[in-house]
Structure 1
């Protein structure tokens, strides 16, 4: 089977996965104890108002008809929110909140990539050294602490620094001044212009950029902390295994320079076990962003997904899960593609 044929097969097999996820979510919310009518109208609503809203939302229709409408709205990217932002198109809600979650997720991925992997590789190239012990112990300790606990501790610590009361520095005034360590970044640091009829970024306000970066930095560090520790430990182990391999010994015997051996033989082959770790970060970011955005009061997709679940907003929760599932399936296929690039021995002939 060719590479593209394999990818097409994986894409087709993803269809029943999507429908299974959507069916489970529909049954969980529709047959569960949550009532979108009660969440929207409150406990003091009259019987006439309840009946009118149930009819408006289609909750009086047969269950199979509700399921078909639910799936149709997902596949056509239509539908409106029931409770959280009542009667507003879901596409508008996602378009408004997605940049904030992308901003958080971008830094939550970049920090582990540029901190965890280099530290792991350095520890693997210098085994049994002080730096190796420090990196290994810190990675184990960091990995053992849950994100929600780290988020609460980080907020408590940073709030104590206001006015220079703790350790002699004030997080609020270091760099750009901020009034609060929680909240949603503005993300208005880009200026747009018309270039040949296309709207593109033409300038950047660096102070606004640094302000948004500072506001999201604690949340992104906490969100990416588990990935950073995992990448560091796996990277160290991969380097240790690669350094003692036969082809590295052969490269040394041929007299190749140490830098060439590290970059062409050790680094590339040590990346192979890190590919699933890096791509699977999407699972951590999607699940973790719900908790982190709620704790840091960030108005993003994770926060509104939590509100949609707890208030029985079936169309909004379903649309977000549908989008998250598509992203995860795409990253799984991308993972297979990266394997074939990094490791030429991997094929899809069987």
Structure 2
């Protein structure tokens, strides 16, 4: 029950954050220098174009007082009525577009999170358990290099490497390795439930996910190494050794459990970067997900669609933050009780 109260408090605290985010988005769209109706009409160089612009502004409620527009905007968001696209996909609901483009971004984000977790964190733990050895130095240098490489630079290098090297993977190129796929393009998720469909969708997304998760992988490697070093120097570890606890039980029960606690905010904070970084990576690799949709909406002037996607990004960010707090209480229940006191 205390854990539920703790989570409920976090939900209440997230409401002002969401409100500030949607208010800033509304001001950018409705009070900013760009006119959403002008993006639909295009250049106003005739009386007919001006008449059409006035008619669209009236239909969209842009001539209403700003407080009325703001109130209607909040009501629509609370009821999750995200409106429609005005320019890119005229008349199509934003929710339908999210259902169409969202699975590709979710698939990309899933692998971009899993790659650092299953590569970066184990390497960091391995380096921490073998401190001041050649293996430690190699892992540490690898983390620094991955952390320093910008996504856009790594994306270009990886695309050039995978597209021009025909004998990189056991005598074959990336596109023909294991199973025939394209290097650039949206992953096919229609047959994800079948083994062949899963392999195809995974292989198609791995290059983009590797680029998106590269900075996170280096950061998590470095921080997990530091966390392990801090734990193994604690007095209770020396006490466990003195009473005869085996090395593997010591590592599994005491070192890893305590080292994972400071890594929770790191992993979840890296997820924030994935939300923004997915726009660049999706455009470069042609993933055609929500990031690409947001980029196209901004460049084409489809501000209502862009604003609705911003609201989704805000909700996603707040949800990640709440998940972080929940993970804290699951790993260390004392956190919830301390908050209560």
TM-score of the pair, normalised by structure 2 = 0.92
Cα distance between partner residues in 1 of 2:299 and 2:251 = 51
1:153 is aligned to 2:154 = no
Number of aligned residue pairs: 335
**Equivalent residue for 2:178, pick from 148, 155, 175:** 175
1:52 is aligned to 2:55 = yes
1:20-59 equivalences in 2 (<5 Å): 20-43=20-43, 46-59=49-62
Contact 1:109/1:224 (<8 A) preserved? yes
**Corresponding residue for residue 319 of structure 1:** 308
1:184-223 equivalences in 2 (<5 Å): 184-190=186-192, 204-223=193-212
1:22-81 Cα offsets, whole Å, 9 max, x none, are 111111122333333333333367222222222222222222222222222211111212
Measured on the aligned residues, the alpha-carbon RMSD in Å equals: 2.1
Structure 2 residues without counterparts, runs of 5 or longer: none
1:260-339 equivalences in 2 (<5 Å): 260-339=249-328
**Corresponding residue for residue 197 of structure 1:** none
Alpha-carbon distance, 1:332 to partner? 1.8
Contact 1:36/1:311 (<8 A) preserved? no
Higher mean C-alpha displacement, 37-46 vs 267-276? 37-46
**Equivalent residue for 1:85, pick from 86, 89, 106:** 89
**Corresponding residue for residue 348 of structure 1:** 339
1:89-133 Cα offsets, whole Å, 9 max, x none, are 111111111111111011111111110110000000001111111
Alpha-carbon distance, 1:87 to partner? 1.1
Contact 2:186/2:286 (<8 A) preserved? yes
**Corresponding residue for residue 94 of structure 1:** 98
Cα distance between partner residues in 2 of 1:88 and 1:177 = 34
**Equivalent residue for 1:135, pick from 112, 136, 139:** 139
Structure 1 residues without counterparts, runs of 5 or longer: 191-203
Contact 1:36/1:83 (<8 A) preserved? no
